[in-house]
Structure 1
Amino acid sequence: MTNFWLEPWDERGPILERRANTPEMQTYLGGVESEESIASRHKRILDGVRAGTTSMFLLMVADDPDPIGSVGYWEKEWLGQTVYEMGWKVLPGFQGRGLAVGSTLAAIGLAAAEGRHRFAHAYPRTDNTASNAVCRKAGFELLGESDFEYPKGNPIRCNDWRFDLKEVGGPP
Protein backbone atom coordinates (compact mmCIF):
# COMPACT_ATOMS: atom_id res chain seq x y z
CA MET A 1 0.00 0.00 0.00
CA THR A 2 1.18 3.50 -0.83
CA ASN A 3 1.97 5.64 2.22
CA PHE A 4 -0.71 8.22 2.86
CA TRP A 5 -1.95 10.63 5.47
CA LEU A 6 -5.21 12.42 6.16
CA GLU A 7 -5.57 16.16 6.56
CA PRO A 8 -8.72 18.00 7.66
CA TRP A 9 -11.07 19.11 4.88
CA ASP A 10 -10.33 22.70 3.88
CA GLU A 11 -10.34 24.98 0.84
CA ARG A 12 -8.51 22.29 -1.16
CA GLY A 13 -11.70 20.19 -1.03
CA PRO A 14 -13.34 21.81 -4.06
CA ILE A 15 -10.09 21.34 -6.01
CA LEU A 16 -10.34 17.60 -5.37
CA GLU A 17 -14.05 17.59 -6.18
CA ARG A 18 -13.37 19.24 -9.55
CA ARG A 19 -10.60 16.72 -10.31
CA ALA A 20 -13.05 13.91 -9.49
CA ASN A 21 -15.94 15.44 -11.43
CA THR A 22 -15.56 13.15 -14.43
CA PRO A 23 -18.00 10.65 -15.94
CA GLU A 24 -15.73 7.81 -14.74
CA MET A 25 -15.65 9.00 -11.12
CA GLN A 26 -19.30 10.08 -10.99
CA THR A 27 -20.82 6.93 -12.58
CA TYR A 28 -22.33 5.74 -9.28
CA LEU A 29 -23.03 9.21 -7.86
CA GLY A 30 -25.56 10.62 -10.30
CA GLY A 31 -23.22 11.92 -13.01
CA VAL A 32 -21.03 14.97 -13.50
CA GLU A 33 -21.99 17.83 -11.17
CA SER A 34 -22.40 21.55 -11.68
CA GLU A 35 -20.00 24.02 -10.07
CA GLU A 36 -22.92 25.12 -7.86
CA SER A 37 -23.36 21.54 -6.57
CA ILE A 38 -19.65 21.27 -5.73
CA ALA A 39 -19.73 24.62 -3.90
CA SER A 40 -22.90 23.64 -2.02
CA ARG A 41 -21.41 20.32 -0.83
CA HIS A 42 -18.21 22.07 0.26
CA LYS A 43 -20.29 24.50 2.36
CA ARG A 44 -22.33 21.60 3.85
CA ILE A 45 -19.12 19.80 4.80
CA LEU A 46 -17.61 22.89 6.44
CA ASP A 47 -20.91 23.59 8.26
CA GLY A 48 -21.05 19.97 9.46
CA VAL A 49 -17.45 20.09 10.66
CA ARG A 50 -18.18 23.29 12.63
CA ALA A 51 -21.34 21.72 14.10
CA GLY A 52 -19.47 18.54 15.08
CA THR A 53 -21.70 16.26 12.96
CA THR A 54 -19.24 15.70 10.10
CA SER A 55 -15.61 14.65 9.93
CA MET A 56 -14.15 14.89 6.44
CA PHE A 57 -10.53 14.43 5.41
CA LEU A 58 -8.36 14.95 2.36
CA LEU A 59 -6.26 11.97 1.35
CA MET A 60 -2.65 12.95 0.70
CA VAL A 61 0.33 11.08 -0.76
CA ALA A 62 3.91 12.16 -1.41
CA ASP A 63 3.41 11.65 -5.20
CA ASP A 64 1.08 14.66 -5.52
CA PRO A 65 0.97 18.04 -3.75
CA ASP A 66 -2.85 18.16 -4.08
CA PRO A 67 -5.38 15.85 -2.42
CA ILE A 68 -5.84 12.60 -4.35
CA GLY A 69 -8.94 11.50 -2.51
CA SER A 70 -11.15 11.97 0.49
CA VAL A 71 -12.75 9.98 3.26
CA GLY A 72 -15.21 10.97 5.92
CA TYR A 73 -18.16 10.23 8.10
CA TRP A 74 -21.24 12.19 9.11
CA GLU A 75 -24.27 11.63 11.29
CA LYS A 76 -27.33 10.02 9.71
CA GLU A 77 -30.61 8.77 11.12
CA TRP A 78 -30.97 5.15 10.08
CA LEU A 79 -33.63 2.70 11.21
CA GLY A 80 -34.40 4.68 14.35
CA GLN A 81 -30.86 5.37 15.52
CA THR A 82 -28.11 7.87 14.83
CA VAL A 83 -25.17 6.27 13.02
CA TYR A 84 -22.26 7.48 10.98
CA GLU A 85 -22.50 7.25 7.22
CA MET A 86 -19.10 6.87 5.55
CA GLY A 87 -17.89 7.79 2.10
CA TRP A 88 -14.59 7.89 0.23
CA LYS A 89 -13.09 8.51 -3.16
CA VAL A 90 -9.66 8.04 -4.73
CA LEU A 91 -8.72 9.58 -8.06
CA PRO A 92 -8.17 7.05 -10.89
CA GLY A 93 -4.40 7.49 -11.12
CA PHE A 94 -4.06 6.43 -7.48
CA GLN A 95 -6.54 3.54 -7.39
CA GLY A 96 -5.37 -0.04 -6.89
CA ARG A 97 -2.82 0.89 -4.20
CA GLY A 98 -4.93 0.10 -1.12
CA LEU A 99 -5.58 3.78 -0.41
CA ALA A 100 -9.38 3.54 -0.22
CA VAL A 101 -9.25 0.67 2.28
CA GLY A 102 -6.39 2.22 4.27
CA SER A 103 -7.99 5.65 4.52
CA THR A 104 -11.38 4.10 5.38
CA LEU A 105 -9.79 2.11 8.20
CA ALA A 106 -8.04 5.27 9.44
CA ALA A 107 -11.38 7.13 9.44
CA ILE A 108 -13.06 4.21 11.27
CA GLY A 109 -10.40 4.53 13.96
CA LEU A 110 -11.10 8.25 14.30
CA ALA A 111 -14.88 7.69 14.45
CA ALA A 112 -14.46 5.00 17.11
CA ALA A 113 -12.18 7.25 19.17
CA GLU A 114 -14.88 9.92 19.25
CA GLY A 115 -17.09 7.42 21.07
CA ARG A 116 -20.34 9.03 19.88
CA HIS A 117 -21.99 6.28 17.85
CA ARG A 118 -21.67 2.51 17.85
CA PHE A 119 -22.08 1.89 14.13
CA ALA A 120 -20.74 3.28 10.88
CA HIS A 121 -22.53 2.41 7.64
CA ALA A 122 -21.60 2.69 3.98
CA TYR A 123 -24.16 2.52 1.19
CA PRO A 124 -22.46 1.86 -2.17
CA ARG A 125 -24.68 1.07 -5.13
CA THR A 126 -25.09 -2.67 -5.56
CA ASP A 127 -23.29 -2.49 -8.92
CA ASN A 128 -20.33 -0.47 -7.58
CA THR A 129 -17.87 -3.36 -7.42
CA ALA A 130 -14.93 -1.25 -6.21
CA SER A 131 -16.71 0.42 -3.26
CA ASN A 132 -18.35 -2.85 -2.22
CA ALA A 133 -14.87 -4.42 -2.22
CA VAL A 134 -13.58 -1.59 0.01
CA CYS A 135 -16.35 -2.36 2.49
CA ARG A 136 -15.56 -6.08 2.48
CA LYS A 137 -11.79 -5.57 2.81
CA ALA A 138 -12.22 -3.00 5.59
CA GLY A 139 -14.27 -5.46 7.64
CA PHE A 140 -17.80 -4.11 7.22
CA GLU A 141 -20.69 -6.57 7.58
CA LEU A 142 -23.16 -6.73 4.67
CA LEU A 143 -26.69 -6.36 6.08
CA GLY A 144 -28.57 -6.41 2.77
CA GLU A 145 -29.90 -4.11 0.07
CA SER A 146 -31.77 -0.80 0.54
CA ASP A 147 -33.41 1.78 -1.67
CA PHE A 148 -31.92 5.28 -1.64
CA GLU A 149 -32.08 8.53 -3.55
CA TYR A 150 -28.76 9.98 -4.57
CA PRO A 151 -28.61 12.63 -5.60
CA LYS A 152 -32.06 13.74 -4.45
CA GLY A 153 -34.68 12.53 -6.92
CA ASN A 154 -32.43 9.78 -8.36
CA PRO A 155 -33.55 6.36 -7.02
CA ILE A 156 -30.75 3.81 -6.59
CA ARG A 157 -30.32 0.38 -5.03
CA CYS A 158 -27.52 0.18 -2.47
CA ASN A 159 -25.90 -2.34 -0.19
CA ASP A 160 -26.07 -1.54 3.52
CA TRP A 161 -22.66 -2.31 4.99
CA ARG A 162 -22.17 -1.84 8.75
CA PHE A 163 -19.03 -1.57 10.85
CA ASP A 164 -19.32 -2.08 14.62
CA LEU A 165 -17.12 0.66 16.09
CA LYS A 166 -17.08 -1.24 19.38
CA GLU A 167 -14.68 -3.64 17.62
CA VAL A 168 -12.04 -0.88 17.56
CA GLY A 169 -12.72 0.80 20.88
CA GLY A 170 -15.95 2.66 20.13
CA PRO A 171 -19.00 2.86 22.43
CA PRO A 172 -20.68 -0.36 23.66
Structure 2
Amino acid sequence: MSAAPADPHAQAGRRGRFRTEVTQFLLAGGLAYAVDVAVFNLCLFLGLDAVTSKVVSSVPATIVAYIGNRYWTYRHRERTGVGREYTKFFVFSAIAAAIQAGCVFVSHHLMGFTSPLADNISGNIVGMALGTLFRFWAFRTFVFKHKSPEASPTVDPALSGAGGAQ
Protein backbone atom coordinates (compact mmCIF):
# COMPACT_ATOMS: atom_id res chain seq x y z
CA MET A 1 0.00 0.00 0.00
CA SER A 2 1.16 3.52 -0.63
CA ALA A 3 1.18 6.35 1.82
CA ALA A 4 -1.47 9.03 1.58
CA PRO A 5 -0.46 11.86 -0.76
CA ALA A 6 0.91 14.95 0.92
CA ASP A 7 -1.27 18.05 1.10
CA PRO A 8 -0.52 19.98 -2.12
CA HIS A 9 -1.35 23.29 -0.42
CA ALA A 10 1.22 22.64 2.31
CA GLN A 11 3.83 21.73 -0.30
CA ALA A 12 3.07 24.89 -2.29
CA GLY A 13 3.35 26.93 0.92
CA ARG A 14 6.76 25.42 1.72
CA ARG A 15 8.00 26.05 -1.83
CA GLY A 16 6.76 29.63 -1.64
CA ARG A 17 8.48 30.21 1.71
CA PHE A 18 11.68 28.69 0.32
CA ARG A 19 11.59 30.94 -2.77
CA THR A 20 10.93 33.97 -0.56
CA GLU A 21 13.86 33.04 1.70
CA VAL A 22 16.16 32.58 -1.30
CA THR A 23 15.10 35.94 -2.76
CA GLN A 24 15.49 37.79 0.54
CA PHE A 25 18.80 36.04 1.25
CA LEU A 26 20.12 37.15 -2.14
CA LEU A 27 18.91 40.74 -1.69
CA ALA A 28 20.39 41.04 1.83
CA GLY A 29 23.52 39.39 0.51
CA GLY A 30 23.59 41.79 -2.44
CA LEU A 31 23.89 44.73 -0.08
CA ALA A 32 26.60 42.93 1.89
CA TYR A 33 28.30 42.10 -1.42
CA ALA A 34 28.35 45.78 -2.41
CA VAL A 35 30.00 46.61 0.92
CA ASP A 36 32.48 43.74 0.44
CA VAL A 37 33.48 44.82 -3.09
CA ALA A 38 33.78 48.50 -2.12
CA VAL A 39 35.95 47.80 0.94
CA PHE A 40 38.02 45.21 -0.97
CA ASN A 41 38.83 47.66 -3.74
CA LEU A 42 39.51 50.46 -1.26
CA CYS A 43 42.00 48.19 0.51
CA LEU A 44 43.66 47.31 -2.81
CA PHE A 45 43.83 51.03 -3.67
CA LEU A 46 45.45 51.72 -0.29
CA GLY A 47 48.14 49.14 -1.09
CA LEU A 48 47.08 46.15 1.01
CA ASP A 49 47.79 42.65 -0.29
CA ALA A 50 44.90 41.04 -2.19
CA VAL A 51 44.32 38.25 0.35
CA THR A 52 44.49 40.68 3.28
CA SER A 53 42.09 42.99 1.46
CA LYS A 54 39.60 40.13 1.05
CA VAL A 55 39.82 39.23 4.74
CA VAL A 56 39.39 42.88 5.82
CA SER A 57 36.44 43.46 3.47
CA SER A 58 34.60 40.44 4.83
CA VAL A 59 34.19 41.98 8.30
CA PRO A 60 31.87 44.91 7.49
CA ALA A 61 30.12 42.79 4.84
CA THR A 62 29.39 40.12 7.44
CA ILE A 63 27.90 42.68 9.82
CA VAL A 64 25.60 43.98 7.05
CA ALA A 65 24.66 40.40 6.11
CA TYR A 66 23.82 39.48 9.70
CA ILE A 67 21.50 42.45 10.11
CA GLY A 68 19.77 41.75 6.78
CA ASN A 69 19.38 38.05 7.41
CA ARG A 70 18.34 38.16 11.07
CA TYR A 71 15.89 41.04 10.78
CA TRP A 72 14.53 40.39 7.30
CA THR A 73 15.29 37.07 5.59
CA TYR A 74 14.94 34.83 8.65
CA ARG A 75 12.88 37.10 10.91
CA HIS A 76 10.15 34.43 11.13
CA ARG A 77 12.59 31.79 12.35
CA GLU A 78 13.14 30.79 15.95
CA ARG A 79 15.48 32.97 17.99
CA THR A 80 17.79 30.78 19.97
CA GLY A 81 19.75 33.46 21.76
CA VAL A 82 21.58 36.38 20.23
CA GLY A 83 24.98 35.22 21.46
CA ARG A 84 24.63 31.70 20.08
CA GLU A 85 23.12 32.90 16.82
CA TYR A 86 25.67 35.71 16.34
CA THR A 87 28.58 33.37 17.10
CA LYS A 88 27.40 30.70 14.68
CA PHE A 89 26.68 33.31 12.02
CA PHE A 90 30.19 34.72 12.26
CA VAL A 91 31.85 31.28 12.40
CA PHE A 92 30.07 30.20 9.20
CA SER A 93 30.74 33.61 7.64
CA ALA A 94 34.43 33.24 8.50
CA ILE A 95 34.49 29.86 6.76
CA ALA A 96 32.83 31.41 3.71
CA ALA A 97 35.32 34.32 3.82
CA ALA A 98 38.13 31.76 3.93
CA ILE A 99 36.65 30.15 0.81
CA GLN A 100 36.74 33.56 -0.91
CA ALA A 101 40.23 34.40 0.33
CA GLY A 102 41.37 30.94 -0.76
CA CYS A 103 40.15 31.66 -4.28
CA VAL A 104 42.13 34.93 -4.28
CA PHE A 105 45.21 33.13 -2.90
CA VAL A 106 45.07 30.43 -5.58
CA SER A 107 44.52 32.94 -8.39
CA HIS A 108 46.99 35.57 -7.16
CA HIS A 109 49.82 33.54 -5.65
CA LEU A 110 49.63 30.11 -7.28
CA MET A 111 48.36 30.95 -10.75
CA GLY A 112 50.08 34.34 -11.05
CA PHE A 113 47.02 36.42 -11.93
CA THR A 114 47.96 39.56 -10.02
CA SER A 115 45.92 42.35 -11.59
CA PRO A 116 43.10 44.02 -9.65
CA LEU A 117 40.69 42.62 -12.27
CA ALA A 118 41.91 39.05 -11.64
CA ASP A 119 41.70 39.60 -7.87
CA ASN A 120 38.12 40.84 -8.24
CA ILE A 121 37.12 37.91 -10.47
CA SER A 122 38.64 35.31 -8.15
CA GLY A 123 37.40 36.86 -4.90
CA ASN A 124 34.22 38.66 -5.82
CA ILE A 125 32.82 36.33 -8.46
CA VAL A 126 34.20 32.80 -8.10
CA GLY A 127 34.84 33.00 -4.35
CA MET A 128 31.60 34.83 -3.67
CA ALA A 129 29.55 32.26 -5.59
CA LEU A 130 31.09 29.36 -3.65
CA GLY A 131 30.84 31.24 -0.35
CA THR A 132 27.21 32.22 -0.98
CA LEU A 133 26.16 28.62 -1.58
CA PHE A 134 27.90 27.60 1.64
CA ARG A 135 26.37 30.51 3.62
CA PHE A 136 22.82 29.83 2.46
CA TRP A 137 23.05 26.17 3.45
CA ALA A 138 24.77 26.88 6.79
CA PHE A 139 22.57 29.81 7.87
CA ARG A 140 19.26 28.09 7.22
CA THR A 141 20.48 24.77 8.61
CA PHE A 142 22.42 25.81 11.72
CA VAL A 143 21.94 29.51 12.52
CA PHE A 144 18.34 30.51 11.81
CA LYS A 145 16.49 27.31 12.61
CA HIS A 146 12.83 26.60 11.90
CA LYS A 147 10.48 27.00 14.79
CA SER A 148 9.95 23.66 16.44
CA PRO A 149 6.36 22.46 16.21
CA GLU A 150 4.70 22.04 19.55
CA ALA A 151 5.58 18.58 20.69
CA SER A 152 2.55 16.41 21.13
CA PRO A 153 2.73 14.29 24.22
CA THR A 154 3.62 10.73 23.42
CA VAL A 155 2.09 8.03 25.48
CA ASP A 156 3.99 4.84 26.13
CA PRO A 157 1.59 1.98 25.33
CA ALA A 158 2.88 0.08 28.36
CA LEU A 159 1.85 2.98 30.62
CA SER A 160 -1.50 3.65 29.00
CA GLY A 161 -2.83 0.16 29.40
CA ALA A 162 -3.36 -0.15 25.65
CA GLY A 163 -1.54 -3.29 24.73
CA GLY A 164 0.86 -3.45 27.65
CA ALA A 165 0.86 -5.72 30.64
CA GLN A 166 -0.46 -4.15 33.80
Q: Give the alignment's TM-score, normalised by structure 2.
A: 0.26
Higher relative helix content? 2
Of structures 1 and 2, the larger Rg is shown by 2
Higher relative strand content? 1
